[in-house]
Every structure is written in C-alpha cells, then in structure tokens.
Structure 1
Amino acid sequence: MKVIQQDSKVTLHFTIKMKDGSVADSTHNMGKPAQLTIGDGSLSDNFEKHLLGMQSGQEQSIELSAQDAFGMPNPDNIHHMERSKFVGDAEVEVGTIMAFSGPDGAEIPGIITEIAGDSVTVDFNHPLTGHDVTFEVEILSVE
C-alpha cells in the first residue's frame, strides 16, 4: 500500500474546525473529496507535512496553531479604498465578502471591515488567518 510522499496524488476528505467546534470548511459539504498533489501548493507546507506517511483509509485529527495553519494577519493585506470605487447594487457593509481584481487579473476575496465616511477598509487576509484550527483528514486514495 502506498504512503503519501512528495508528489503523491492524494484524494481526501477534510474538515477544518474552529476552536468552538464550528466548521469553517469541509469537503463533505461540497459532496466530493478534494484531490491534490503533494507539493503543488494546494495546501500549506504545514498541512502537507502532517499528511506525509499516511495511507488510504487512515484518518487523523490535527490541531494547528494559527501560525502553522493560515498564518498571522499581514497588515500589508489591509487596504483603504474610496467608497466611489464600489459601483452597482453591491451592498457595501461591514462583514461583506467581495471579490476584487488583483494585480494579475485574478479575483481575490476581501472582507469589508470598516466604513468611515467615504473610506472603506478591506482586509485581504485569509478569513482563517490568526485562528487556531483543527484539521480533520480522511485519506481515500494515494497514487
């Protein structure tokens, strides 16, 4: 039976839970498992490190500190924009997640964290940045 190593193709189910037990993300909710190649950047190095050596059929629950999971918030990822840049019917309110075009044309999700007059503060850090999480994983196959 193959074990997970660098460049292995892995099919797995995972659930990411917050400290309070709420589910932040889960392949079970999407109804299909995730597929990735170890080292392709789909998962952070810290997540991948915990998968190495596992085999299909294995399950593991891994507690990760914020630093090892999605990292700490980066102040450079917080931007102040003019409210006039938000066009159309989009409701501009605190807590709204909106897609913005990044420098390379790719869409980047940002969370509106503050609105002061004509200034809108948008946080482009990953929503789970700064949170300790539990990463529950079930390996379905390894190629």
Structure 2
Amino acid sequence: MSVTNGNTIRVHYTGTLTDGTQFDSSEGRDPLEFVVGSGMVIPGFDNGVLGMEIGETRTIEIPAKDAYGEKSDDMIVAIPRGEFGEGFTAEIGEQLLIQLGDGNQIPVTITQIDEKTVTLDANHKLAGKDLIFTVTLVEIAAE
C-alpha cells in the first residue's frame, strides 16, 4: 500500500535549510499525523509523500514557492512607535503577536526600531527559503 491523497499518515521528519541548518524535527516526539492533500502541511510536503510505502525514507527538496512562499514586502509594515505605549521596550529580532481586526493573531518579528517607528515583518520565518525534508513513513492510518 502506498500513500495517496486522502490518506491519514504518520511520518517522522527532519527539516533543514539548503545550508544544512536544521529548523525542525519530530525526533523525540510522536510522528506528525496529517491527511495527505488536505492542506494541513505545506504543498511541497504534501506532494512529496505521495507514493511512499510504510518504512520508506525519502528526501524531499521543496522550493520556497511550494513551502512558505517568497518573502513579500506587503508583509512588512512600519508602525508609529506611540502605538506600542509609553514603556515600550523591545529589541530587533523579538517576536510579538499582533491581533488583527477579525480577532485572529499573527506572529511578527521586529526588524527595525527608531525614534518614530517600529518595523514589523509578518512573513513566515521560513518564507523565501528552499527546504529539505528527510521523511520516514511510519503508518498509513486510514483513507
């Protein structure tokens, strides 16, 4: 039996950047469980597991467009420093959660601070990066 769209599968994985830097792994945790083709994982990961068989290990190279997308300048915004309140103390690289008008929250990273503005980047930290996953199929749970 091999993986097809609609299968619920469990995989162990290690994710690295093209320079070899590891950014995530299921090592020491339960395998990742998801429904193939449902959009629960990035598109390149979804497509990369198709046809795998239980026990198989595969290396999946995912270009940025099929991972977290390219970095978008539209996701970078300068906010007047006063919007953060009087005692605002933060550092470049710090992450914050910003609440949107619809009540949802998104993570942002502070990329610049000056006397007048705080620049926030809402791009995913892996946006614009090609990713490499080593994936081992543990189980095909259901269709």
TM range (shorter): 0.7 to 0.9
In 1, distance between residues paired with 2:66 and 2:55? Answer: 25
Matched with 1:20 is 19
Determine the C-alpha separation between the residues in 1 that align with 2:9 and 2:86: 42
| Identity value in percent | 30
* Aligned with residue 114 of structure 1, among 96, 112, 115: 112
Cα distance, 1:106–1:53 mapped onto 2, change above 3 Å: same
SS of aligned partner of 2:66:
coil
Any conservation in 1 of the 2:39–2:46 contact (CA below 8 Å)? Answer: no
Q: Is the 8 A contact 1:86 1:92 kept in 2?
A: no
- Superposed CA RMSD in Å reads 2.0
Q: How many angstroms does 1:40 deviate by?
A: 2.4
Alpha carbons of structure 1 residues 87 and 139: separation in structure 2 relative to 1, 3 Å: farther
Tell me how far 1:94 sits from its aligned partner: 0.7
Decide which moves more: 59-68 or 5-14: 59-68
Larger Rg: 2
Q: CA deviation at 1:87?
A: 4.8
Q: Check conservation: 1:13, 1:28, Cα contact below 8 A.
A: yes
State how far apart, in whole Å, the 2-side matches of 1:127 and 1:71 are. Answer: 11
Paired residue for 2:3?
4
Size of the aligned set, in residue pairs, is 141
SS in 1 for 2:125: coil
- Which deviations, in whole Å up to 9, do the C-alpha atoms of 1:36-86 show, x marking residues without a partner? 111222212222111111122111111222233221111111121122333
Which ranges in structure 1 are unaligned for 5 or more consecutive residues?
Answer: none
